[in-house]
C-alpha cells in the first residue's frame, strides 16, 4: 500500500518540484498540496494522508500551529517539518507541536524519502544538523529552565497573533476565524497582557522572532 503524502508550502515552485520527485517513488502518493496551514488542516480532514510535509513559516497559519492542531486532532497523521530554519526555537517548537521529523530544505531528496518512510512506520527522523540543535536545546533547558512566553498562549491566541503581525485588521481576522470583532479584540488584549507588550509593532516583531510569521509572508 502506498504512503499518502500531503505537501504544505507557501511557495508553488517548491510544492511542484517535490510533487514531481515524490510521484516517481513507487511506494509514495501525493494526494494534495496546500499553501498555508489552515488549508492543510482542511485537507487532512478530507483526505486522511499518512504523512504531511510541512513548511514552518507561512501566511495565515504557520506550520507550528498547524502541526499542533493536526497532531492533536489526527494523531495517526505524521508531520515532517521541511524548513530553511535550523535555529533551536523553530526546531523545539515544531517538535513540541508534535512533528515526528525535521529536515532542512538544503538536504538531498533521498533524505526526505528516508524521513517519510521512517515516520510512516512509527519512527522519527531528524537531519544530522537538527539532531545537534535538539541536543543543545535539551541541555540549555535543563540548565536554565528556558521557556518561551509564546507557550502561555492558547492555540487561538497564537492564530490571532500571527494574523495581527501580518497586518490584518480586527474585522479581517474576525471574518477569517468566523468570530465577532469583540472576540478578536478580547484575544488581542489577552495576548498583550500575557506577553507584556503594548503595541502592534511589538507584537509583530515578537511574532517574526518566534517564527509565527516572516517579513516575506
pLDDT (tens, 9 = 90+) of the chain, 217 residues, equals 899 999 999 999 999 999 999 999 999 999 999 999 999 999 999 999 999 999 998 888 989 999 999 999 999 999 999 988 877 778 888 888 999 999 998 888 999 999 999 999 999 999 887 876 666 655 455 445 555 677 788 889 989 999 998 889 999 999 999 999 999 999 999 999 999 888 888 888 888 877 777 655 4
User: 0.85 cut: is pTM over it?
Assistant: no
Please indicate, yes or no, if residue 90 is contained in any of the structural domains: yes
Q: Give yes or no: residues 124 and 158 share one domain.
A: no
**Looking at residue 149, what DSSP letter applies?**
G
Same-domain pairing of 127 and 78: yes
Please say which residue of 126, 143, 160 terminates a domain: 143
Residue 217 falls within a domain, yes or no? no
CATH of the domain at 32: 3.40.50.2300
Q: Are 40 and 34 in contact (CB under 8 A)?
A: yes
Residue ending a domain, choose from 143, 161, 192: 143
In a domain, residue 9? The reply is yes
Distance, in Å, from the CA atom of 153 to the CA atom of 164, rounded to the nearest integer, reads 14
Same-domain check for residues 9 and 114: yes
Residues 123 and 16 in one domain: yes
Q: In this structure, are 135 and 46 located in the same domain?
A: yes
Within a domain: residue 203?
A: yes
In 3D space, the residue among 57, 46, 9, 6 whose CA is nearest the CA of residue 30 turns out to be 6
Please report the sign of the dihedral spanned by the C-alpha atoms of residue 3, residue 34, residue 75, residue 107. Answer: positive
Q: How many structural domains does the chain have?
A: 2
Q: Are residues 40 and 129 in the same domain?
A: yes
The whole-angstrom separation of Cα 173 and Cα 189 is: 14
Asked whether residue 215 is domain-assigned, the answer is no
Identify the domain containing residue 91 by its residue range.
Answer: 3-143
87 and 120: one domain?
A: yes
Amino acid at each position: 500500500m502506498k504512503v499518502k503524502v500531503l505537501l504544505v508550502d507557501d511557495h508553488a515552485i517548491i510544492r511542484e518540484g517535490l510533487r514531481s520527485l515524490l510521484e516517481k517513488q513507487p511506494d509514495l502518493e501525493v494526494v494534495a498540496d496546500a499553501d498555508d496551514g489552515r488549508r492543510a488542516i482542511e485537507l487532512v480532514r478530507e483526505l486522511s494522508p499518512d504523512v504531511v510535509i510541512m513548511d514552518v513559516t507561512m501566511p495565515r497559519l504557520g506550520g507550528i500551529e498547524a502541526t499542533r492542531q493536526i497532531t492533536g486532532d489526527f494523531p495517526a497523521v505524521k508531520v515532517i517539518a521541511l524548513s530553511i530554519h535550523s535555529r533551536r526555537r523553530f526546531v523545539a517548537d515544531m517538535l513540541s507541536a508534535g512533528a515526528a521529523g525535521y529536515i532542512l530544505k538544503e538536504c538531498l531528496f533521498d533524505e526526505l524519502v528516508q524521513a517519510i518512510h521512517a515516520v510512516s512506520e512509527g519512527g522519527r527522523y531528524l537531519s544530522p544538523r537538527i539532531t545537534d540543535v535538539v541536543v543543545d536545546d535539551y541541555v540549555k533547558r535543563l540548565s536554565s529552565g528556558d521557556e518561551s512566553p509564546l507557550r502561555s498562549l492558547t492555540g487561538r491566541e497564537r492564530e490571532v497573533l500571527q494574523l495581527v503581525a501580518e497586518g490584518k485588521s480586527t474585522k479581517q481576522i474576525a471574518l477569517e476565524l468566523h468570530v465577532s470583532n469583540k472576540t478578536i479584540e478580547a484575544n488581542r488584549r489577552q495576548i498583550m497582557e500575557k506577553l507584556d507588550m503594548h503595541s502592534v509593532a511589538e507584537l509583530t516583531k515578537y511574532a517574526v522572532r518566534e517564527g509565527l510569521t516572516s517579513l516575506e509572508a
